[in-house]
Structure 1
Amino acid sequence: MIAIFGVVMCRGCLQILCVTTADRGMYSCRVFNLYHEVWSDQVHVKIDPGSSIDASWEEIDAAATPSPARQISKLYATDKVALLMGNMNYLHHRPLRAPMADVHEMTNLLRQLDFKVVSLLDLNWQEMHSAVTEFLLLLDRGVYGLLYFAGHGYENYGNSFMVPIDAPASYTSENCLWVQDVLQRMQERETSLNVFLLDMCRKRNLNDGVPPQPGQLKVTANIVFGYATCVDAEAFEVNKDDLSNGIFINFLKQRVMEDEKVTVMLDRVAEDMGRCEITRGRQALELRSNLSERRALTDRIQSSGCPETTSARNLQWAIAHVLPKSRNLQFDCGVTVQLGFAAEFSNIMIIYTRILENPKDIASCSAHLTDFTEGLDMDLKMSNQENLLDAGSLLPMEILLPAELPGLYTRLKGLQRLTKELTFTVCLQYKYTNLDEEVHERQTVTVGKPLVSKLNLHEPRLPRSYSASSSFDLHSFSHSSSFPEGFGPSFPASETSSIGSASTTWSYYSQPGLSATPSSPGKLNLPVEDDSPELFDSDAPQPLTTSKSLPHGQVEDLTYRFSNMHNFHSC
């Protein structure tokens, strides 16, 4: 073993196992996020026989038989793509608390593993179907595909269903997204690994009749299902402050970066959950898999032999993650206002404003955003806030503006529902030193269709049998020299970074299928358990809650609670 120390390492030490003399050479460290990267200075690493205690080394030829470590890691992905969906604010069912925080956690972790991540919150039926169709277009032969869902859900006779936010009170499979159908469509793309992480309840839906019959699945050995809970059981969250993570994500995030076969990693998550006092006997991870190869989420990416396909996939993903350029607005009074933009999720954007220049004859001034394009999901009371937390965001303040630079933040949700370009007004309010009357100036700003709004997820897609050609088919891209309408060769790069570490909070999911409505507010908090150190650092015990809707006036009504910042499932 060799240890390399560097100031850019979070834990101060990077340990590399199974090192031989063939691994010596020049090394550097890359620190990056979605928009920036920085490389450290190169360091020459010497590895000689006897360099490590309790190890025997011998000189080997790099062209000779590869080391065991290399034999183990020979599997690779031609690309890695993830679709993360978290539904919280249901129209006809109890809201959840955890999905926002869970999706945020998973987004940050998967990006570190070089996944192209699309993260979406609060989708209706049409938007979920369209998002899956676009996700499938990013898949191709050899790609690793991962789908994570947090929200209300249910399972009937082995068929799992994800519930959109607009599902009626007594929903059936026709109102939901069928997981097994998504799997079949993923197999059609000839992926090397299909991973489903379903953070939702798996209770039966008594409103549903005969389940749909899935088509013939291909005989493959590349499918992994990780269920947050067992069949006919619920998924939970723990109430803590205003934010929550689900039990599943709480333990998964501690293991997902491990360089292990996916099933081995999930087995360890299941063991960790089994040792947690607060969920013992209530929730246990279930793993289903036919994976026959040592495929790991940490596997490296090795591009396929078709550069056109790779470029097409990169473009298809990039179009849903374009931010407006930051800009400075000059007002007649001499004040300069800066506008900046950051992505919190693929369908949630932060706009921040600050005063750059303020003439001496102006005693005070402020800039507020108003008159947004119709269709956005936003709370005006939470706009133009002095900090991101008050605006409802998980992003850390320092990711946008230094603490010493005051500014106002506005969080725009539901960008997938934009039917036209995003327009808003910047209203400048100021007072001159020798006048008491407040003066107003206004400028209208148009920033196009940011982030996922370019994909028009609100529009119906073609029938399932035509999904492969509904927008942008990677299989046929190499035979065409032109981009489809709406795609261009380049996009403006944002001048701000949009990724930050998420707050650590916990929530849980409940099962769909049983009709719960806001008019039936019955709640039952489970007895408080002893504090579990696996979950919390706080000394105070945390109540564990669950929610489920019961049809036909059944008496028992348990309420599932979820974090409004992260993905969670409930029935």
Structure 2
Amino acid sequence: MADSLDRSTKINLLKEPVVKRICEVLDKSSSKGWRKLGEIVGNDRRFKVSPDDMEMCSLKVLELEGSPSRMLLRLMAERGCTTGHLVDYLQALGNSEALQCLKPSALQILLQPQSVALLCGHNLRLSCHAMGKSPVHYQWFKAKEEVPNSSSPDLVISPVQLKDAGFYICRVHSGDAFEFSHWAQVDVLNIGMSYGQSYHSLDGRLKLVIQPQTQRLHVGETLQLECGATGRPIPRYQWHRNGVPISNATKRKLMIPHAMQDHGGKYRCEISSSTERMWTNEVNVVIAPRISVQLSGAMECSEDDLYAIGGGSSDFFLNSIPEQLYATDKVALLIGNLSYQNHPQLKAPMVDVYDLTNLLRQLNFKVVSLLDLTESEMRNAVDEFLLLLHKGVYGLLYYAGHGYENYGNSFMVPVDAPNPYRSANCLCVQSILKLMQEKETGLNVFLLDMCRKRNIHDDSTPNIVLRVTANIVFGYATCQDAEAFELSSSGFTNGVFVKFLKKRLLDDEKITTVLDRVAEDMGQFDATKGKQALEIRSSLSERRALTDPILPGDSADLAHAHSRQWAKAHELPESMCLDFDCGAQIKLGFAAEFSNVLVIYTHIIKKPDDMSFCQAHVTDFSQDLDVDPKEMNRETPEETGIYLLSSSLPQHCLYTRLSSLQKLREELVFTVCLQGAFTAMDDDHPIHWKKSVDIGKPLIARLDLHRAMRRNSCLQTCMMPHSPSHSPCHSPGPEHHLHLHLHGSHQAQDYNRLSPQHRYLDISEHLQGAVGGCVDSYYDNLSQCPYEPTYDSGGLSSSPGRFSIPIEASEDITELQTVFINSLQLQSQ
């Protein structure tokens, strides 16, 4: 038997099912078990096992799933024990049953079918590959019924239909030997029932395609919520109500018959796989009581009766119930400009946009987050934002960067604006508001984190006539004719406005109430007291809140089309594995830090044993992206500028950050270069292998924001001729290096006119708390601290035993397995 094994294989490389069977045999045996094996190994000087080691193994019996044998094998593996050594020890032990576990089977399943969730109309493929001493034959079953014409290793159903959903298993036989594969569950989702935003998980293995919908029911009716994600392996589900998991609610569909009032609340579902987790939108469920009104001593009227009494009007009934306000959808455009070409650089906009993106997504906003946009890119981004708006939508625009205000009109400054700039080079916020009003939006929120100083170089007076509506809220980070500040730090931290805004944004309060509390919090901040104060302007007459639920209106088809437009800006490339001729395999993964910032990470998942050196890196990117080779293929995310997403990325990879994807004009094609050397090589020069990869246009690149003005609407965002100024550009002088940076015009002339107390914080009173370190540490101590963001592989296993059919965890499968085996027994009789 020893000749049939690779005796040089380390026992830590044994497949998990083999190790599990050996441990089960050794754990249950008293005379030929793990204790006796430990004595034998302890007498071998190469892998000496001490009494303390044996004591540590024995303590494993106190654990729920503890195994002394597994602990012993782990210690032996750490000391270099091979399969050959283990065979010799088991032979000396005389445990033939344990030796049998190491013996290669006459029939071995090398590839198990994997559960999958996919969309109706797509192609289903389940694969089961085995190796035997004689020809191998396959037989597929769906539950207890044999699948017709299914005698190949791959079961293909094209296209898959809803009726094809269920549990599948493959019987493999070779000569007299046969094995059953694992059960594989197939979940087929009907895309026609999809609602809400669709997006991929971080690693791209899951895709959320069906979102739950807001519900308004009466007591006694059936509450039904549904969500769905595609992926392989099949996703797991757990429904939550008001943030608490619901017991036994682990299916895609949640159904509560005869719902009561206390079943109302906020519902969302957690979707997970073995390595990833994502959440659906949170939706509001309202269970209203059935109210009856006694009109006389002998007659009671139901809601329907009241409708008739009112002459076709239900106002009498409805007036007794508080009105629930809804949004038909929620969309947000977040722009952070920090890398200015002709003006001082900023830091906070990147962190601010990242934090607000995560918070707004928790409020079920569709968010597009963009960094460092030129004038034409900003105008085109606004156009795409306007496409997402329709009747009843809540629209939110957040801008962080340089800005100014003239005659009541606010202007956002693009990164390519000349010095000095004028209104023709900038975007007028009020012009954007006018276009939003034409969409009959339900709520318009503008959060402007910029200076509002007068621009002395701009004498234009735009005449923008806004409609009289009661749905507009402006949150200015500072008062009129004042600056907005960001706090200098050795790392990255929020601007003053977002530092306090992010603590209140999720509050279930009217939006103006939320901003009022932010203003109060900012007023207590010593570092900017007397220099920056939040100003709120509102024409809101209803209790509109960012937490309001989403209920699609009459324009559901239009909303669905707009959702597809939004999804274009968030489509990540699928993760992929690249096989090289030398036998190495590289995994290529992708993540999004912002809508225009892509992260690529590479990891070597397979390397030939005779290869002494192996390294992979990405190169040859489009010149449109202007990628610095020195910041590519770094061993930590931070080295390549990935500060905010670093904790969510896989470890032990090489990372590359690609920003400004909006400038990409063609498909993103790059090269993966593999360098390797073999032990048999005489020289030290590595060999190179290359593969070209085309991932199309990822994220915001699909919308082609780099193009010139594409629609008339983008011209309307500035009510004057589109003729950029040709004034010469001035590089910022040394006096611009403020400890407390201004999000303002930063024109040299304006800056020099400021009094000293407007340019610097008083060092004795504020500098250490507001400048030297993290702001949150100011009140605790004055020491510096680094910036810390506050955000929240397996091989092939051997085949199962003949009488042990491994299955995936599901309450449905236990019964299915019993029925299936009984049906086989009936067939064989």
The TM-score bracket by the shorter chain reads 0.7 to 0.9
Q: CA 1:463–1:431 in structure 2 vs 1: closer, same or farther (change >3 Å)?
A: closer
Amino acid at match of 1:427: C
**Alignment of 1:180 onto 2:430:** yes
1:453-472 aligned within 5 A: 453-462=701-710, 464-465=712-713
C-alpha displacement at 1:515, in angstroms? 4.5
Distance in 2, matches of 1:308 and 1:27, equals: 25
Q: TM-score scaled to structure 1, two decimals?
A: 0.76
**Alignment of 1:320 onto 2:531:** no
Partner of 1:446: 694
C-alpha displacement at 1:381, in angstroms? 1.6
The one of 416, 433, 451 equivalent to 2:662 is 416
Distance in 1, matches of 2:265 and 2:328, equals: 26
Relative contact order: is structure 1 or structure 2 higher (C-alpha 8 Å, sep ≥ 6)?
1
Q: CA 1:270–1:377 in structure 2 vs 1: closer, same or farther (change >3 Å)?
A: farther
Partner of 2:405: 155
Amino acid at match of 1:457: L
Question: For 1:333-354, what per-residue CA distance to the aligned partner results, in whole angstroms no more than 9, with x for missing partners?
Answer: 1000010011110000000000
**Alignment of 1:510 onto 2:743:** yes
Deviates more, 1:349-358 or 1:21-30: 21-30
Question: 8 Å contact 1:321–1:451 — kept in the other structure?
Answer: yes
Amino acid at match of 2:460: V
**Alignment of 1:267 onto 2:516:** yes
Question: 8 Å contact 1:83–1:135 — kept in the other structure?
Answer: yes
Q: CA 1:388–1:139 in structure 2 vs 1: closer, same or farther (change >3 Å)?
A: same
Question: For 1:215-264, what per-residue CA distance to the aligned partner results, in whole angstroms no more than 9, with x for missing partners?
Answer: x2111000000000001111111122221210000000000000111101
C-alpha displacement at 1:26, in angstroms? 10
Q: CA 1:526–1:157 in structure 2 vs 1: closer, same or farther (change >3 Å)?
A: same
**Alignment of 1:527 onto 2:527:** no
Question: For 1:304-338, what per-residue CA distance to the aligned partner results, in whole angstroms no more than 9, with x for missing partners?
Answer: 12331121011010011111111111111100001
Partner of 1:334: 583
Q: CA 1:378–1:527 in structure 2 vs 1: closer, same or farther (change >3 Å)?
A: farther
Partner of 1:22: 261
Partner of 1:218: 467
Q: CA 1:119–1:516 in structure 2 vs 1: closer, same or farther (change >3 Å)?
A: farther
Amino acid at match of 1:326: S
Unaligned runs of at least 5 residues, structure 1: 9-19, 40-59, 469-505, 544-562, 566-571
C-alpha displacement at 1:524, in angstroms? 5.3
Partner of 1:31: 270
Amino acid at match of 1:443: K
**Alignment of 1:537 onto 2:770:** no
Distance in 1, matches of 2:518 and 2:600, equals: 37
Distance in 2, matches of 1:118 and 1:4, equals: 27
Question: 8 Å contact 1:369–1:426 — kept in the other structure?
Answer: yes
Q: CA 1:5–1:254 in structure 2 vs 1: closer, same or farther (change >3 Å)?
A: closer
The one of 287, 290, 300 equivalent to 1:63 is 290
1:190-209 aligned within 5 A: 190-209=440-459
User: Which structure dedicates a bigger proportion of its chain to helix?
Assistant: 2
Distance in 1, matches of 2:660 and 2:774, equals: 34
C-alpha displacement at 1:467, in angstroms? 8.0
Distance in 2, matches of 1:151 and 1:425, equals: 35
**Alignment of 1:284 onto 2:533:** yes
Q: CA 1:361–1:72 in structure 2 vs 1: closer, same or farther (change >3 Å)?
A: farther
Q: TM-score scaled to structure 2, two decimals?
A: 0.53
Question: 8 Å contact 2:577–2:586 — kept in the other structure?
Answer: yes
Report SS of the residue matched to 2:377: helix
Q: CA 1:507–1:381 in structure 2 vs 1: closer, same or farther (change >3 Å)?
A: farther
Question: 8 Å contact 1:372–1:422 — kept in the other structure?
Answer: yes
Distance in 2, matches of 1:88 and 1:455, equals: 22
Question: 8 Å contact 1:393–1:411 — kept in the other structure?
Answer: yes
Amino acid at match of 2:476: Y
1:354-373 aligned within 5 A: 354-373=603-622
Question: For 1:144-203, what per-residue CA distance to the aligned partner results, in whole angstroms no more than 9, with x for missing partners?
Answer: 000000000000111100000000011000000011100101101110100000000011
Distance in 2, matches of 1:385 and 1:84, equals: 28
Question: For 1:345-393, what per-residue CA distance to the aligned partner results, in whole angstroms no more than 9, with x for missing partners?
Answer: 0000000000010010001211111110111043322111112111211
Distance in 2, matches of 1:232 and 1:142, equals: 33
Distance in 2, matches of 1:213 and 1:203, equals: 20
Report SS of the residue matched to 2:569: helix
Q: CA 1:296–1:72 in structure 2 vs 1: closer, same or farther (change >3 Å)?
A: farther
Distance in 1, matches of 2:776 and 2:463, equals: 43
Q: CA 1:287–1:61 in structure 2 vs 1: closer, same or farther (change >3 Å)?
A: closer
Question: 8 Å contact 1:204–1:513 — kept in the other structure?
Answer: no
Question: 8 Å contact 2:348–2:495 — kept in the other structure?
Answer: yes
Q: What is the percentage of aligned positions where both structures have the same residue?
A: 50
Amino acid at match of 1:78: T
Amino acid at match of 2:442: S
The one of 423, 426, 434 equivalent to 2:672 is 426
Report SS of the residue matched to 1:457: coil
Distance in 2, matches of 1:217 and 1:524, equals: 36
The one of 102, 105, 123 equivalent to 2:352 is 102
Q: CA 1:308–1:82 in structure 2 vs 1: closer, same or farther (change >3 Å)?
A: same
Q: CA 1:451–1:360 in structure 2 vs 1: closer, same or farther (change >3 Å)?
A: same
C-alpha displacement at 1:429, in angstroms? 1.0
1:476-491 aligned within 5 A: none
Report SS of the residue matched to 2:383: helix
Aligned length in residues? 467
Question: 8 Å contact 1:427–1:442 — kept in the other structure?
Answer: yes
Deviates more, 1:349-358 or 1:231-240: 231-240
Distance in 1, matches of 2:741 and 2:502, equals: 15
C-alpha displacement at 1:426, in angstroms? 0.8
Distance in 2, matches of 1:534 and 1:351, equals: 30
**Alignment of 1:385 onto 2:634:** yes
Larger radius of gyration: 2
**Alignment of 1:111 onto 2:361:** yes
Distance in 2, matches of 1:25 and 1:212, equals: 49
Question: 8 Å contact 1:429–1:440 — kept in the other structure?
Answer: yes
C-alpha displacement at 1:408, in angstroms? 0.4
Partner of 1:43: none
Distance in 2, matches of 1:241 and 1:540, equals: 17
Question: For 1:20-75, what per-residue CA distance to the aligned partner results, in whole angstroms no more than 9, with x for missing partners?
Answer: 97214899752369x96469xxxxxxxxxxxxxxxxxxxx972228999x955600
Question: 8 Å contact 2:382–2:714 — kept in the other structure?
Answer: no
Report SS of the residue matched to 1:257: coil
Distance in 1, matches of 2:329 and 2:599, equals: 29
C-alpha displacement at 1:397, in angstroms? 3.7
Q: CA 1:466–1:338 in structure 2 vs 1: closer, same or farther (change >3 Å)?
A: closer
The one of 623, 648, 653 equivalent to 1:407 is 653
Partner of 1:83: 333
Question: 8 Å contact 1:172–1:513 — kept in the other structure?
Answer: no
Question: 8 Å contact 1:98–1:507 — kept in the other structure?
Answer: no
Amino acid at match of 2:776: F
Distance in 1, matches of 2:570 and 2:474, equals: 28
